[in-house]
C-alpha cells in the first residue's frame, strides 16, 4: 500500500474476516466490505460488531463491483478479494466438508466456464476503474495458480508468500492491470 492509503475494499467478504483484519492492521483506513450473499453479510455484520468496527467498516450487497454504493465509496487504494475460484472438475469432486458450503462461495464457473476463473475475469476487467491511480489488487487464488496463469498469461502478477504457501495470493498494481 502507498502512504496515502485510506480506502480499502474487501470484495467477496463472506464473514468479513479480511475487512476486519485490514481495519485492524491499517487504523487510518475506512473499509467497504461487499458480498452478493445477504446471509454472508448478516454473519459479517455480527463479526464487525464483535470487533467494534461498525464506524469503519461499511457492509453492502453487490454482484462483483456493480453496486453504485460500492462505486461511490471508491476509488480504492487497496482491493482485497478471496473470490470463488474452484474449477469445474474440482467442483465435481469436492470432499464432503466443502460440499456443505454454499456453492456460491466456491464455484468459479458462474458464467459457464470450466477453469474457475469466471469471477476473476470480470474482476480484472472492472478493477482498474475502481482503483486509485497507485492502487493495488491483492487476490487469493488458492491452489489454482496454473488455471490463473493459463487464463492471464501476460499479467505480471507478484506472488506473495503466505503461511499457506508461496503461490496462493498475488498482487497486481492498477498499472499492470491497464497495461
Ligand X SMILES: C[S@@+](CC[C@H](N)C(=O)[O-])C[C@H]1O[C@@H](n2cnc3c(N)ncnc32)[C@H](O)[C@@H]1O
Cβ nearer to ligand X, comparing 24 with 133 = 24
Cβ nearer to ligand X, comparing 72 with 154 = 72
Q: How far is the CB of 160 from ligand X (least distance, A)?
A: 15
In the structure grid, which three cell numbers stand for residue 166, read together? 508461496
Q: How far is the CB of 142 from ligand X (least distance, A)?
A: 8
Q: Rounded to the nearest 5°, which phi and psi values hold at 94?
A: -65, 140
Residues that bind ligand X (CB under 6 A): 12-14, 17-18, 35-37, 40, 63-64, 82-84, 104-105, 119
In the structure grid, which three cell numbers stand for residue 22, read together? 485490514
- In sequence order, the 6+-apart residues with CB closer than 8 A to the CB of 105 are 14, 37, 40, 84
Q: How far is the CB of 79 from ligand X (least distance, A)?
A: 12
Where are the extended beta strands (E) located within 90-143? 131-140
In the structure grid, which three cell numbers stand for residue 161, read together? 508468500
Q: How far is the CB of 71 from ligand X (least distance, A)?
A: 14
Q: How far is the CB of 4 from ligand X (least distance, A)?
A: 25
Which residue minimizes CB distance to ligand X? 14
Cβ nearer to ligand X, comparing 2 with 14 = 14
Kindly calculate the radius of gyration of the chain based on its CA atoms and give it in whole angstroms: 16
Q: Rounded to the nearest 5°, which phi and psi values hold at 57?
A: -120, 120
Question: How far is it, in rounded angstroms, from Cα 56 to Cα 58?
Answer: 7
Amino acid at each position: 500500500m502507498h502512504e496515502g492509503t485510506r480506502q480499502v475494499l474487501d470484495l467477496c467478504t463472506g464473514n468479513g474476516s479480511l475487512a476486519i483484519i485490514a481495519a485492524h492492521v491499517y487504523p487510518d483506513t475506512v473499509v467497504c466490505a461487499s458480498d452478493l450473499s445477504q446471509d454472508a453479510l448478516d454473519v459479517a455484520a455480527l463479526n464487525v460488531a464483535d470487533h467494534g468496527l461498525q464506524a469503519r467498516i461499511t457492509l453492502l450487497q453487490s454482484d462483483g463491483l456493480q453496486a453504485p454504493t460500492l462505486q461511490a465509496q471508491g476509488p480504492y487504494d487497496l482491493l482485497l478479494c478471496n473470490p470463488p475460484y474452484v474449477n469445474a472438475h474440482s467442483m465435481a469432486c469436492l470432499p464432503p466438508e466443502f460440499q456443505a458450503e454454499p456453492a456460491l462461495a466456491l464455484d468459479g464457473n458462474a458464467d459457464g466456464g470450466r477453469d474457475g476463473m469466471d469471477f476473476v475475469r470480470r474482476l480484472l476487467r472492472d478493477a482498474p476503474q475502481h482503483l486509485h491511480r497507485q492502487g493495488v489488487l491483492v487476490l487469493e487464488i488458492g491452489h489454482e495458480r496454473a488455471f490463473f496463469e493459463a487464463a492471464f498469461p501476460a499479467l505480471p502478477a507478484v506472488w506473495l508468500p503466505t503461511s499457506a504457501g508461496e503461490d496462493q495470493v498475488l498482487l497486481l498494481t492498477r498499472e499492470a492491470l491497464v497495461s
